[in-house]
Structure 1
């Protein structure tokens, strides 16, 4: 079965969801439940489930639906296969070229169609994915425009300095109230990563698990603006974090630090949790800036925008 870019992304998200939730073989996977969890319509969900059944990940019962044929920890191969979907090469090249300043802030679809020698249909699928991730928008007239994002060492350091202020403050907010079920899910996910899950997780899975941890804790603050700010900062850092995610060495340490924060919250010590969070963000800032995230990357595309 050949999947469209959208269907391939949904299939990838389903696999990531199963791995994140650590679902066992035999677990019932419902279309409606996945549509709610992944915030998408049931049509691409159904197509993706049929594809995953063909790949041997699911068993289908005509009367009862789909069931996992394999446990979550036996899906590394299919996760890696789906991480390189039909639109990923173009997506990655747009991301890197934008980070390197090789694509201007505003552009027309025809510019990228000519640059990458692809059809409008394929390009539109990539742009829809980028728009969903929050770093591009369609202009009112015509064409597209990149939104502000973290694209320099200075901006990256500034973002971490800001996070080191607001995230610990959220843990100490007078309206703070932890959701015990969400806390347990975070702990389960971070323990999986610390126990070696990071070795087989894709860059997208690593980023999403990290973002989910910070956004979940921000949601406990009881302040809508706090969680919106943390979510927006995650969107801004998505591209450089994807690049960093290929360097897996610090991922276990980060998960261990996340678990220490969660342990403080479990015993009700918000002051210690806030202190751990501040130290965690400062450690991450030092490591990632030292990793030279913004070094130029050579691309196979020889053409370039004349205005870039």
Structure 2
């Protein structure tokens, strides 16, 4: 690699390397450029650059006409790349901005100049952060001037409402007439959960932990073949992360959740979809209970 990637490309490279190293992106996982562009709030160009950097490190491989996939032996070089990563100042600012928003220290409407001054950012750095925040759904550009922060999912009540929506969607998706979880996808989901139980819960970044759960549930619902159910889940997953990040401080509950994820896979692979739907309902109810227990943490600073 002859030149250093830009900060945007570098951020994508290290985020994906973290997920490969923890198993959140397992061997063989497809990395569609448009999906990644939407996720990171950028164009496809920096995503393509990032994927080529990952390919140079042996973390992903290019399949002509099909795009990029996580390499069979990609986990080891991904861990090495993650280990060499310098502290990400923008990531720290992102979490500081999220905390300020949750605590009510950022107003609903704010100018870019005020944000640059508050967080000591260049115009380019702020643009990168705001692109990510906009992609996650908790801010949008105001017509003509500044940014508007959304009220969506900045309170524990809103987070609980999102879980009630998931309770309506996810168990029902397992009972759709055309439901089929492909064996290879089930195996990848299982490998991620087993990796979590083997120690990745403690080692994974907050982003990787969150993405691991998102990928599992979207894979399970996506197997229903009902695009409306999957789209609804994807939308709520984009905007709920703001509050969920606060609950990642205490990671012990993720051990139970990983075991429950594996139990649901066992039922689906055995063809026991009615029982899997009930297990999914119980799983989400348990997560809601843990959110209720974490309510003081979610309300901190407000």
Residues 7 and 48 of structure 1 are in contact (CA less than 8 Å); yes or no, is this contact kept in structure 2?
no
| CA offsets 1:170-192 (integer angstroms, 9 cap, x no match) | 11122323233222221121121
**C-alpha separation in 1, matches of 2:110 and 2:88:** 24
Q: Secondary structure at the match of 1:178?
A: coil
Shift of 1:71: 5.8
**CA deviation map 1:180-227 (0-9, x unaligned):** 322222112112112222121111000001011111111122222211
User: In structure 2, the residue corresponding to 1:114 is in which secondary structure?
Assistant: helix
1:176 counterpart SS class: coil
CA distance in 1, matches of 2:161, 2:261: 22
How big is the shift at 1:45? 4.6
Distance in 1 (alpha carbons) for counterparts of 2:50 and 2:222: 33
Query: Which deviates the most, 146-155 or 14-23?
Result: 14-23
The 5 A counterparts of 1:1-308 are 3-19=5-21, 20=23, 21-23=25-27, 35=33, 38-39=36-37, 41=44, 43=46, 45-46=48-49, 50=53, 72=75, 75-76=78-79, 78-79=81-82, 82=85, 84-291=87-294, 292-297=296-301
Matched residues in 2 for 1:239 and 1:83: separation?
24
Is the alpha carbon distance of 1:286 and 1:106 closer, same or farther for their aligned partners in structure 2, counting shifts above 3 Å? same
State the SS of the aligned residue for 2:89.
Answer: coil
Q: How far apart are residue 254 of structure 1 and its match? A: 0.7
Q: Is the 8 A contact 1:139 1:145 kept in 2?
A: yes
Q: Which runs of 4+ in 1 moved over 3 A?
A: 1-5, 32-53, 73-84
State whether residues 198 and 206 of structure 1, in contact with CA within 8 Å, keep that contact through their aligned partners in structure 2: yes
**May I ask how many residue pairs the two structures share in their alignment?**
286
The worse-fitting range, judged by mean Cα deviation, of 267-276 and 5-14 is 5-14
Q: 1:132 to 1:153 in 2, by over 3 A?
A: closer
Taking the aligned partners of 1:83 and 1:155, their CA distance within structure 2 comes to 35
Residues 51 and 229 (structure 1), Cα distance of their counterparts in 2 relative to 1, 3 Å cut: closer
The gaps in structure 1 that reach 5 residues or longer are 60-66, 299-308
Query: 2:12, 2:47 within 8 Å by CA — same for their partners in 1?
Result: yes
Gapped runs of 5+ residues in structure 2?
38-42, 60-69
**Contact persistence 1:149–1:236 (CA under 8 A):** yes
Kept after mapping to 1: 8 A contact 2:155/2:299:
no
Is the contact made by 2:218 and 2:230 (CA closer than 8 Å) also made in structure 1? Answer: yes
Q: How far 1:294 moved relative to its partner?
A: 1.5
Q: Hey, what's the Cα distance between the residues in 2 that align with 1:80 and 1:249?
A: 24
TM-score (norm 2): 0.81
2: CA distance, partners of 1:50 / 1:74: 12
Match of 1:195, SS state, is helix
In 2, Cα distance between the equivalents of 1:94 and 1:15? 24
